[in-house]
Amino acid sequence: MGVLRSTHSLQAEVEEMRAALFHSGGWQPSAGDAGVKRATGGQEGAAAERTVCVTGGISFVGFAIVDRLLRHGYTVRLALETQEDLDKLREMEMFGEEGRDGVWTVMANVMEPESLHRAFDGCAGVFHTSAFVDPGGMSGYTKHMATLEAQAAERVIEACVRTESVRKCVFTSSLLACVWRQSYPHDRDRRGPSIIDENCWSDDTFCRDNKLWSALGKTAAEKAAWRAARGRDLKLVTVCPALVTGPGFRRRNSTASIAYLKGAQAMLAEGVLATVNVETVAEAHVRAYEAMADNRAGGRYICYDRVIQRPEEFAELERQLGIPSRTATVQSVEDRPARFELCKKKLGRLMSSRRRCTYDDYYPVTFQ
């Protein structure tokens, strides 16, 4: 699932990751061994309760989650899939001897349950952020990748269930798994927009018919995760972020962004094209994980910062990504009433109350 890069591109990405960490006060360079320490086995006692594994930990979203976890005092095990990922971490030179800086690494293939089980062993929780991208061309995502992503999600959850130490999993889904719906005649008779919240699922058939492969993959993967977790001894929460932006997102997240924006004109017209800063996404993951301990978090969470409503905003987003502008054919939400309205009240309650008890029961997710 890695993406081939030139040496210059890899070095530029490493420098961006360095800058992000120094700015945030996260990882610090060590005078010790600059190599990457591999995880060697499970841990016991209180330390294990603060040890978590992150898949896709050097992706744009995964990297921010790892940084946030370290700031919260967790020990993080990075599940890496390729030698390229390992080389990138070595170039950062930010890991001390024997994992003292709070980061360990292990090679793991999300399609291989045994590999995942070894990676998760000794961790109290798992953050599954790994996702498939298309390294060739501008599509960002293919129909085949949707199938693979659903298979990977199921195997990750099965590995979590099988691993005795793992009690919780936070799964990174997407707002795309919520917003794509069939248009029915009675929808037009509504006096106001329909609310899109955590109870809404994108329609699989609609996504296939319109070749919205990224939306199909995110929907299928999240449903597969919930099916695999149902009735098992594992707490699962899914976070559904909008288009993830932030410093360096053009270089580090452009392929995923292009895949997300397929159908963007329709999303803009319907009032569901939204963005979210990567730091907000990372904080939402950690807050959800911590609140799961006493059942203050459960189910799904929609995550976004702002809804794009004007063609000018859309044009700026395209400019930032370096893709051709399509604003000439875009109708803004202000020109006509939007059919849908996004709602993130559930996440708002979680983010505004970190320690005090709130009424947010842990409950199973249902879908068609």
178 secondary structure, DSSP code = H
Asked whether the predicted pLDDT for residue 325 surpasses 90, the reply is: no
Share of the chain above pLDDT 70, in %: 72
d(CA 188, CA 150): 33
- Catalytic: which of 88, 168, 218, 262? 218
Query: Residue 323: what pLDDT?
Result: 80
Question: What pLDDT digit, counting tens, does each position of 243-252 carry?
Answer: 999 988 888 7
Asked whether the predicted pLDDT for residue 25 surpasses 50, the reply is: no
Query: Residue 241: what pLDDT?
Result: 98
For residue 360, what are its two tokens?
Answer: 């947010």
Asked whether the predicted pLDDT for residue 36 surpasses 50, the reply is: no
Q: What's the rounded mean pLDDT across residues 322-351?
A: 76
Asked whether the predicted pLDDT for residue 206 surpasses 70, the reply is: yes
Asked whether the predicted pLDDT for residue 157 surpasses 90, the reply is: yes
346 part of the active site: no
Query: Residue 32: what pLDDT?
Result: 32
Query: Residue 200: what pLDDT?
Result: 97
**pLDDT band at residue 42 under the 50/70/90 scheme:** very low
Question: What is the chain's mean pLDDT, rounded?
Answer: 80
Query: Residue 120: what pLDDT?
Result: 97
Query: Residue 163: what pLDDT?
Result: 97
Query: Residue 139: what pLDDT?
Result: 60
> Is there a contact between 285 and 170 (Cβ–Cβ < 8 Å)?
yes
Q: What's the rounded mean pLDDT across residues 220-226?
A: 98
d(CA 37, CA 273): 41
End-to-end C-alpha distance for the chain, whole angstroms:
29
Question: What pLDDT digit, counting tens, does each position of 336-345 carry?
Answer: 677 899 999 9
**Cβ-based neighbour number of residue 89 at 10 Å:** 20
Share of the chain above pLDDT 90, in %: 55
Q: Is 33 left (phi over 0), alpha (psi -120 to 50) or beta?
A: beta
38 compared with 118, residue with greater pLDDT:
118
Asked whether the predicted pLDDT for residue 260 surpasses 70, the reply is: yes
Query: Residue 132: what pLDDT?
Result: 76
Where b means 16+ CB within 10 Å and e means fewer, 342-361 reads bebebbeebbeeeeeeeebe
Query: Residue 247: what pLDDT?
Result: 87
**pLDDT band at residue 18 under the 50/70/90 scheme:** low
pTM equals 0.82
d(CA 56, CA 45): 27
d(CA 301, CA 197): 8
- Element of type H or E holding 196: strand 194-196
Q: What's the rounded mean pLDDT across residues 145-164?
A: 95
Q: Which residues lie below 8 Å from residue 17, measured CB to CB, with a gap of 6+?
A: 58, 63, 88, 92
Phi, psi of 106 (to 5 degrees): -150, 140
d(CA 349, CA 284): 11
Query: Residue 187: what pLDDT?
Result: 54
SS3 state of residue 353: coil
